[in-house]
Structure 1
């Protein structure tokens, strides 16, 4: 191991970049649909050894000394994000004649941007780099900070944070309820980096022991929470939820001539009898933008919904909502959810708060237009963001906490109102991504939100994965990707004990502070012993 570490440290130029790219790329196998988390025990030790050799020019000042470390982190991140996000290009191939020009931006440009955060992480870690296991703490703290920044800088895109690789199954998801995804990311980098100590020896015993302790605590806490979940009494009077997965091809959704038939397909699936003579559904859920027209402008459509729903049933569906902006102004459109009762009345609504840049709106639109970037302005979308999140209230008083599409990847945007909700509701259309890792990654992140917030999850996806997940991240019932049909299920599991978003943020900062102190002591420990 020492010989391998030494060879990697001494790499230079192109071979060094290739190894960094490889180390990042293989890390993608820790994410869904693979879930092979052990590969990160290869990825991060290689990164540590590359950092050991990233000394830079000692006579060139701080910037020159950190530049080499930044470059290694950026290449590592570029490999990781290209390998784990390449499927984003599939969305642009749906209407290739119009948007194929943007394919390099999605497949290479976005990873290049996201890799800047990992470059920042390695540069910051290099400031407190040492020979012992303190450098692992520095790297963990820096990566945790980078993932946190990735959650909100430039509207945020925390997709595939490193911590998700440490949570492939419910047993390994439970720690997120205490630390959140960013705290888990910091701790995961420390643990996954620990084998690097086998190649450098200094601080090996203490570092490996601490990493083993953290990993065992991670598994032990998961086992404890799941054991506690099995002893919880089942919640009474749970509604039966029907999730409709219509499997509508994205090209059909863009075809005006298909709108009526798409709507009727949703209604036909809604009207199917329960399987095996089971209880009829109380709540029917359709995916994001399932209704292919402005529902309030089509009263006959509301009548059709009322005809299909039985007395007391309620439909929760993704829609496009329009709003008059006043004389002389174009109407505003919102990506929304409606709750419709069996009389065809809209009784509750919620609009999407966090829109997808360049998919649902164009950031800095006026600036881009002035610069002549008209192709970007023409991309599909044109939605308006809601100023704040609204809860959905169903007849009878039950409430749902709505997360439309990729809103489920932003843990810090879920406020304290979630404690009042009977379940999280995630409606999405992952049909844009095709048969790629994208839908599986999205589903995992939504499951983690259920664990963090101690609430069951109802998830309806056009092409899958649709599911009901209990508050501990366990699948109660689901429909696999690229399958058409319905599933009926109770929520199950009641509510789980959870920490508030603010508490998880505090725990995250405590993790970073602890790692920072370890890194500082390791960096300055020699001076302490000699004074």
Structure 2
């Protein structure tokens, strides 16, 4: 496995295994280092392609569930196109790693051995401080590219490297300060130090100091982060008990093919009402239906509206219902929205939230105004319009007379978008409520990956996150990032995250006046943007000698 492409592909496969479902999280502390070292001694072009193929393997394995979307042909095309696009970032990273390391350009073909092996030998002969600075620069570059990926072309911040550690609560607390990007930085830095130190001990067994050199500083940083995070966990766990809000969360597990089949609308509605009646025995403060649970348009389908409003009145319960919605525009056209409605115990609509971040080619077709045929690729007809603003739903807390619960609303994959969630949460927000439908991807790793990504939104904002899914991890996440256990009903024995059922979440509320805002919530992606700027500066600096030589050569010719 000494060929750079083979080693990079191996690293990509290891990286994929670090995420759910395999979830061998330790592999994420090794894979980036293997991928970077694989291209040492290569030409810049070969370094890019080695990283690209490693990235392609990583994304092809991680996103296999896109092939399960129940639409003919297009899921395969979309899967290949998306994986190839995302693999470009890995190619750019391995190219940048090579570009930022002095003294390890491409080796000549006449030198014996494999190119990457000879390049590694050159790396190990560089001064230790130079090697350590390169590791930090490579980690900065990784985060810079994650930041760009999370924003370019509407953004795809799925499975950022730090997400793989979502179960390690002390490390996860770093997201309160830097967002998930800080954890990605520490992991890449440590990975490079591990691989270089291991290579140094193997190549020069008589020399000592590799572990206390390259590894000492990143290991100390990891230890400090862990101890600080453990302290944060202890402070949270030792806090006095708080009043709780009880939410009954329905998981109807309706297959996506039936959601698109209008002939099944009546059966879907009966299933939802039956589950609701079972869940209402737990006497919740709020009954929640997931994304697009309501068959048809809640406001305009009389059968659906009578069933929902009648259920709210008869049970004296407030409800949040996911449903499509429509409004007439000023031009006489109709705009469609993926929405959530707040319904009072009197059966009256009190508020509506329209999803703001839509999924490209899932909910809208880009450039459809100029290329109308693209709408034919959509599984949802004409497609949706994005909502205009963040919305909070408020409902009374039964156990505390007059008190109200205030929830920031999200729909679908919006709980993966760190910036959007941060803008949705205010100082007086009690919790975040996300309605989603992972039934598009049948019984796959998508449901587990989605929940793992969402964990960091609770930590970053310091607010509990409640997730109500049609099919997936219906759960709630506390401020530490713990996926909390709930009362679960239905789903079979043993319970399955894919099965029909309902759950009761008892979520502690912040103290009166609101919980303190985290550093990340106040300052946003300061760390990520600093890495973007530093990466641009480092790459520009690496080209400066070449520019100087070009000027000198052209000046002498003139």
- TM-score, scaled relative to structure 2: 0.81
The alignment status of 1:272 with 2:278, answered yes or no, reads yes
Select 2:322's aligned residue among 289, 314, 318: 318
Q: Alpha-carbon deviations, 1:336-390, whole Å to 9, x = none?
A: 1100112211001111000000000001124444xx7675367756100112222
Distance 1:226 1:517, change over 3 A: farther
> Which one of 349, 359, 371 corresponds to residue 356 of structure 1?
359
Query: Shift in Å at residue 53 of structure 1?
Result: 2.5
Deviation, 1:312, is 4.5
Work out the CA distance in 2 between the residues paired with 1:299 and 1:514. 57
Mapped to 2, the partners of 1:376 and 1:250 lie a distance apart of 16
Q: Distance in 1 between matches of 2:382 and 2:193?
A: 45
Aligned to 2:8: 20
Whichever of the two has the greater Rg, that structure is 2
Residue of structure 1 aligned with 2:521, choices 488, 497, 501: 501
Deviates more, 1:42-51 or 1:146-155: 42-51
Residue of 224, 231, 234 corresponding to 2:241: 234
* Structure 1 partner of 2:74: 102
2:289 match: 286
C-alpha spacing 1:274/1:377, structure 2 compared with 1 (3 Å): closer
Are 1:246 and 1:484, in contact at CA under 8 Å, matched by a contact in 2? yes
Distance 1:301 1:103 in 2: 32
SS in 2 for 1:490: strand
CA drift at 1:123: 2.5
Q: Which moved more, 1:349-358 or 1:379-388?
A: 379-388
Match in the other structure for 1:468: 476
Q: 1:519 to 1:184 in 2, by over 3 A?
A: farther
Separation in 1, partners of 2:375, 2:176: 44
- Which whole-Å deviations, capped at 9, do the CAs of 1:267-310 have from their partners, x for residues lacking one? 111111667xx5x1010111001101111113443332233235
Q: Secondary structure at the match of 2:179?
A: helix
CA positional deviation for 1:200 = 3.7
2:464 aligns with 456
Task: Sort the Cα spacing of 1:517 and 1:288 in 2 relative to 1 into closer, same or farther, 3 A.
Answer: same
CA distance change for structure 1 residues 385 and 293 in 2, over 3 Å: closer, same or farther?
A: same
- Report the 3-state secondary structure (helix = DSSP H, G, I; strand = E; otherwise coil) of the residue aligned with 1:160: coil
Q: In 2, Cα distance between the equivalents of 1:380 and 1:53?
A: 52
Q: Aligned with 2:358: secondary structure? A: coil
Cα contact 2:392–2:407 (8 A) shared by 1: yes
Shift >4 Å, 4+ stretches? 201-204, 372-375, 377-381, 509-524
1:23, 1:47 within 8 Å by CA — same for their partners in 2?
Answer: yes
Contact 1:477–1:487 (CA<8 Å) still a contact in 2?
no
| Offset from partner CA, 1:174-221 (integer Å, 9 cap, x none) | 111111122322222112222121214697633201121122223223
User: 1:47 & 1:159 partners in 2: Cα distance?
Assistant: 20
Whole-angstrom CA distance in 2 between matches of 1:220 and 1:517? 33
8 Å contact 1:293–1:320 — kept in the other structure?
yes
Separation in 1, partners of 2:379, 2:464 = 38
CA distance 1:362–1:341, shift in 2 (3 Å): same
Query: Using the alignment, how far apart are the partners of 2:160 and 2:28 within structure 1?
Result: 13
Q: CA deviation at 1:497?
A: 5.6
- Provide the residue aligned with 2:505 in structure 1: 489
| 2:318 and 2:342 in contact (8 A); partners too | yes
Is contact 1:133–1:203 with CA below 8 Å preserved after alignment?
no
For the 8 Å contact 1:476–1:492, the answer to whether it is kept is: no
Deviation larger for 264-273 or 403-412: 264-273
Matched, 1:41 2:29: yes
Task: Spell out, residue by residue over 1:157-176, the C-alpha distance to the aligned partner (whole angstroms, 9 max, x if none).
Answer: 11111111233343332111
The aligned residue for residue 296 of structure 1 is: 299
* Alignment partners' CA distance in 1, 2:226 and 2:381: 44
Q: Quote how far apart the aligned CAs of 1:504 are.
A: 4.0
Correspondence list, 1:307-386, <5 A: 307-309=310-312, 310=314, 312-326=316-330, 328-329=332-333, 331-369=334-372, 375-376=376-377, 380=381, 382-386=383-387
- 8 Å Cα contact 1:183-1:511 kept in structure 2: no
Q: Does the 8 Å CA contact 2:65/2:444 hold for their aligned counterparts?
A: yes
Superposed CA RMSD in Å reads 2.8
Asked whether the 8 Å contact 1:20–1:72 carries over to 2, the reply is yes
Q: How does 1:14-413 map to 2 (within 5 A)?
A: 16-54=4-42, 56=43, 66-91=44-69, 94-95=70-71, 100-130=72-102, 131=123, 132-198=131-197, 199-200=199-200, 205-236=212-243, 238-272=244-278, 280-309=283-312, 310=314, 312-326=316-330, 328-329=332-333, 331-369=334-372, 375-376=376-377, 380=381, 382-395=383-396, 397-413=404-420
Q: Structure 2 vs 1, CA of residues 377 and 445 (structure 1 numbering), >3 Å: closer, same or farther?
A: closer
SS in 1 for 2:443: coil
CA positional deviation for 1:155: 0.7
Taking structure 1 as the reference length, what is the TM-score of the superposition? 0.85
Distance in 1 between the 2:524 and 2:274 partners?
43
How many matched pairs? 489
How many angstroms apart in 1 are the aligned matches of 2:412 and 2:161? 21
Identify if the C-alpha distance between structure 1 residues 242 and 29 changes in structure 2 by more than 3 Å, giving closer, same or farther: same
Matches of residues 441-452 of structure 1 in structure 2 within 5 Å?
Answer: 441-452=449-460
Distance in structure 2 (CA, Å) of the matches to 1:325 and 1:516: 44
Contact 2:316 2:345 in 1 (8 A): yes
Counterpart of 2:23 in 1: which secondary structure? coil
Give the Å deviation of 1:513.
7.3
d(CA) in 2 for partners of 1:113, 1:312 = 50
Contact 2:296 2:304 in 1 (8 A): no
Q: Is the 8 A contact 1:430 1:462 kept in 2?
A: yes
The Cα of 1:43 is off from its aligned counterpart by: 1.4
